Structure 1
Amino acid sequence: MAGPPRLTEGAAPGGRATILDVAAAAGVSRQTVTRAVNGLSGISAATKERVLAAAERLDYRPSRFGRGLVTGGDHQLGLVVNDLRNPYTPQLASAVFRLAAEQGWNVMLADVDLASDADRMVQALGAQTDVVIGYLGTRRERWNALLGTVPMVELDPHTEPSTAAVRLDPADAVEALADHLVAAGVRHPVVLDHSEAGRPSVRGALVTDALRRRGYLPELVHAAQATAECGAAEATRALARFRRLDAFVAFNDVTALGVLQACRRAGVDVPGAVRVVGVDGLSLGELVAPTLTTLAVDLDEVARVAVDLALGMLAGELPRSGPEVQRTVRHRLLLRESA
């Protein structure tokens, strides 16, 4: 990718509206536009209203560089994540930080699960950044509205996205895993999912369906949280309840680590008696014994694709929604000792 786009006072990348365009449309000076969009005194309410209407009509966003906010001119990328206590999150964040640094960007991080007021945090992030990447989940529409004209790249949307997006697709890897379990002689698998009881997650449904199409009747177990603690607790109950089970497919790697712990405490040999599989491909899966088989996604690639989309939209080279800004990163089956 080329270096970050640079803004000047009279021009914006990709033909986006500038402060001079707004001034001309509203019939005022550049200084008046600055006062109106920044809420400064010295202009009438009617003038402010006219300027803001022109700015909205032109889809104008005030330049942080002209206001000298944050770092005096460096580009700012906002990253919205769910929970820094989950090892997946810092591994993804480090990939984004590393790539952004190569482009001369700074990154502002918002952990919305740990925030006291997530809406306020997202709104503040939009005010201080040029583009936002992250997980929106069910709060997508509300947060999109809070971000206003700030370009957004959603990660792993579960429904059709209204912005640019990077989908994470485990479907091919799930099929490869199902074939591997058949070849390995597994007969009684348990899918340890994280979802509402009776309603599998997207990946839980993919795994269950793939196993059923191969003649299995997998047991579906629901964990209240996708944590090692919940994984261990549910695996302990499953080992006691399903005497013939010989494989766990866990919602993610962290849950799978809890399964490994439960098997070790119960004296169950992995992979001799029970095979264990996670999802995500976290590096910590190589640090446990046995090493963790997983459906791995390349988080460096996820970061690379997301930042590429962000730069393209900011430069005006890409639209902010639609098929042109939809990308997919696929998982792969990574066989290690646990399966």
Structure 2
Amino acid sequence: MSAPGATVPGVTILGFCEDDEYLPEYGTVVVRDVYREDLLPSLGNELLGELATNALSGTIATAGDGWLHGTAGDPCQTVRWEAHDEPPDVRLGDWEDIVETPFHSRSGVVGLGTLTGGTFGDELSLGAKGLFRVRVCRKAADDGEEGDVWLIQSWPAPGTPEAPRWLKRTRAAVHPANPGWQQVLGYHVIEVSWFFTLAGMQRPDGWLDEPLPDEPRPSAGVCAQLGVDPPRTRRDAIPLLVAAGLIVDDGAGRFSPGTPRRATEALDLPGELAARVDADAVRSAYIWLAADVTGIAAWSNPARIEDLAALLAVPGETIEPLLEYAAEDNLIQRGNGTVTALPRPPL
């Protein structure tokens, strides 16, 4: 639904559009410019094009020349975009996570969309074309409802864009490192752990006693190191999962999620597999925050490293390992105290 000239208590807005059953594609909230014949020229910075870099949508959201991507899960989301003519007030306590970012609209009209399609549903006039400041607020939906609630507020901000800045974080900026057990034990064994630990996961009667699919299976060497026999059925995989620390046995036939060590710490793995597990652990920890850095670097072109901790709202000690990962993953290039975003390599 959209409305022009709407008023909410204490705030006058030019208009809004909202969707309380927005279904993200690939876990991403997408807002794009709506095509008009009288488009402004692009900003001339190829790094700000949609999908111009290899970065994902960030810990909360990132934006560029005609697009905004928000990181969501698979459930339906409630999304509202408000157009303002000046910066609206924000109550930090009402939201879990908040980021402000530049956004360039060539048409002055936006709409919700999907990663692999265009826009759909109601359109919102921003009241102008050109550069805007956009505030993205996110919080979990109320108990009993799925997904997140999003409030996106925009206002004109002509001139030199101010770098993206994260105003509040409740959810972790650096994610827990992936311990790598799926690479070691294989999908079908890990699926058995989900049977016990994911609420609502349904499987046919007798599923646990069916033969474990042949590929991929844990090696005999891995099983020996964990002190269990190689599994032949899915039920046989339970002792393996307990030994790995992926599930915990309460002694009464019930299992809960464990807190496993990284597989490379618990096992002596072949060098190539160990390297993949360790690399994936770093990637899972920093990939979303690295997208935030890429967004800052693209808009600042380049960004100063000394500014990053304050802009990202993370501790200073986070920056060095974050930049190491981002450079290794070809998201950024480091210079003399600066970082520059790198374009997506051609296919």
Please report the TM-score for the alignment, with normalisation by the length of structure 1: 0.23
More helix as a share of residues? 1
More strand as a share of residues? 2
